[in-house]
Chain A
Amino acid sequence: MIEADGVTCRFGGAAGGAEGDAGVVAVDDVTLSVADGEFLVVAGANGSGKTTLVRSFNGLVTPDAGTVSVNGTPVSDDLVAARSAVGMVFQDPRDQLVAATVGADVAFGPENLGCSHAEIDRRVEDALAAVNMAGRGDDRIAGLSGGERERVAIAGALAMEPDHLVLDEPFTGLDEPARRSVLDRLRELHAAGTSVIAVTHDLRDVLGLADRVVGLSAGRVAVDDAPRAAAEKLPGLDVRVPASFDFGETGGPTGREPGEPSEHETGGPTDQ
């Protein structure tokens, strides 16, 4: 479980927050928890603080105030444990891929964790299978499509065997087949028990998978609800939501393939 308690992150400004130069508050007193196995969508417009917030989950960003704990241990106490437990997939996979071949890149995390060679091989094999790229360990990353790179980036995070997988704008720049492929992989991972945290300003793809939606505005939690209730409030946050969605009794969307646009799907909040 990830627990953020009163997290505030500030960028820039004078040291010590001198008067008149407090910098930009990216995340402002956010308290939330993410349960094991949950599919959480963190939504918000550009600059709403969603990326900064999720980066605090594994210590890539250190909060100026508040605490983040992963599985009961404060992140600052054990960064390696936090980063093993919370896998991160960046918005641009090119920022994340550190090797020339698929297998070498996926192995990078387990190697850093000091796993044995047999364990590294197993993790690489499992992670590549999970993203439907089994047997492609020798492929050159430079020759992969955008969707394949995204899947390799996910495999790289999965090879750390995290309890939670954070994906920052996972569908940006992907064409339709690549988007569907990534969605399929996320659905399978979630079904297998991995907690997924998807950060996005466009909920059309992920609303169908979400258990809960948190909407951020100016660094604060403005919405924290089940998908049905959240979908009614989110347009005010300048995020893109489907105009109509077939929700089931539980408040979660059902009946239609996640990511599949409805007949009434809109191009943005102004169309609501």
Chain B
Amino acid sequence: MTLSYVPGDSLAHRLDPRSKLLVQAGFAAAAYAYTTPRGLAALTLLAVACLFLAGGGPRDLWTYRAAFPVLLLAPLIAGATLGAPWFRVERAAATGLASYRVLLILVVAAGYVRSTPVRDSRAAIQRAIPGRPGQFLGVGVALVFRFLPLLRRDLLTAREAVRARGGGTLPVRERMRLVAVAGLNRAFGRADRLGTALNARCFAWNPTLPRLALGPADLPALAVGGGLAAAAVATVV
């Protein structure tokens, strides 16, 4: 399963994407400003609330499974030493909290992705950042959301094709090489076909963007996002 927009009528679905972007940015800033267990506990509640308000659940986090080993291994590697005492708990704990912060940010991002159509994200970015930079960033975000799931599916297909012909018995390194080469070839082909499809439908840098409107429901979201950002800034000042 790949995380993507899921049509729905949750509170997060009804919010303006700009409000949701502000909550995301504020949350990320607060997560890096408040590194104590108590601060992270509060942010955990908020992150879980964001995901549930978008109609999501633990199942959505499965998309991030590739990141979990890295997040888990990071504290162990940080704590390890080459000599006595062989493992420093305080270092591992600090890195563990950092890993946990990343996980929380991913949870909030999952809530955003499943509740926001790609073109709404593009519109929000292009309106928040005027001119060419906003257009470039908006198109980039739209293409990444479109291209990554396809790329991931191509890699899975390549892996299955290798296995289907007995490749499962090959050394890991050889399997990785085969899947990487096949995946790369498919990625180039996919990019080529996607480019042709966009051209066929008159791809434009300045299309008619969806209507965005801040409503009463956005006020709490704006307050939360702004509050988190302000709280993060307060720790620096």
Which residues of A approach B to under 8 Å, CB–CB?
55, 58-60, 80, 83-84, 88, 90, 92, 94-96, 98-101, 104, 107-117, 120, 138-140, 142, 156-157, 160
A65 to B207, CA, bound (A): 33
Q: Is B208 a contact of A114 with CB atoms below 8 Å?
A: yes
Which residue of the partner chain A has the closest CB to B198? A98
Q: Is B7 a contact of A84 with CB atoms below 8 Å?
A: no
Smallest distance from the beta carbon of B195 to chain A beta carbons, Å? 10
Q: Is B7 a contact of A101 with CB atoms below 8 Å?
A: yes
With a cutoff of 8 Å between Cβ atoms, the chain A residues found around residue B118 in the complex are: 99-100, 104
Q: Is A99 a contact of B119 with CB atoms below 8 Å?
A: yes
Smallest distance from the beta carbon of B70 to chain A beta carbons, Å? 27
Does B4 reach chain A (CB closer than 8 Å)?
yes
A90 to B194, CA, bound (A): 11
Q: Is A84 a contact of B193 with CB atoms below 8 Å?
A: no
Q: Is A98 a contact of B194 with CB atoms below 8 Å?
A: yes
Q: Is A111 a contact of B208 with CB atoms below 8 Å?
A: yes
With a cutoff of 8 Å between Cβ atoms, the chain B residues found around residue A157 in the complex are: 201
With a cutoff of 8 Å between Cβ atoms, the chain A residues found around residue B198 in the complex are: 98
Given A60-B196, A90-B197, A138-B7, do A113 and B202 touch, yes or no (CB 8 Å)?
yes
Does B204 reach chain A (CB closer than 8 Å)?
yes
With a cutoff of 8 Å between Cβ atoms, the chain A residues found around residue B146 in the complex are: 98-99
Q: Is B208 a contact of A108 with CB atoms below 8 Å?
A: no
Given A98-B146, A99-B117, do A80 and B202 touch, yes or no (CB 8 Å)?
yes
Q: Is B208 a contact of A117 with CB atoms below 8 Å?
A: yes
Smallest distance from the beta carbon of A84 to chain B beta carbons, Å? 7
Smallest distance from the beta carbon of B194 to chain A beta carbons, Å? 7
Given A101-B7, A138-B7, A160-B201, do A110 and B208 touch, yes or no (CB 8 Å)?
yes
Does B211 reach chain A (CB closer than 8 Å)?
yes
Most chain A Cβ neighbours within 10 Å, of B119, B199, B202, B208 = B202
A101's partner among B5, B150, B209 (CB-CB below 8 A) is B5
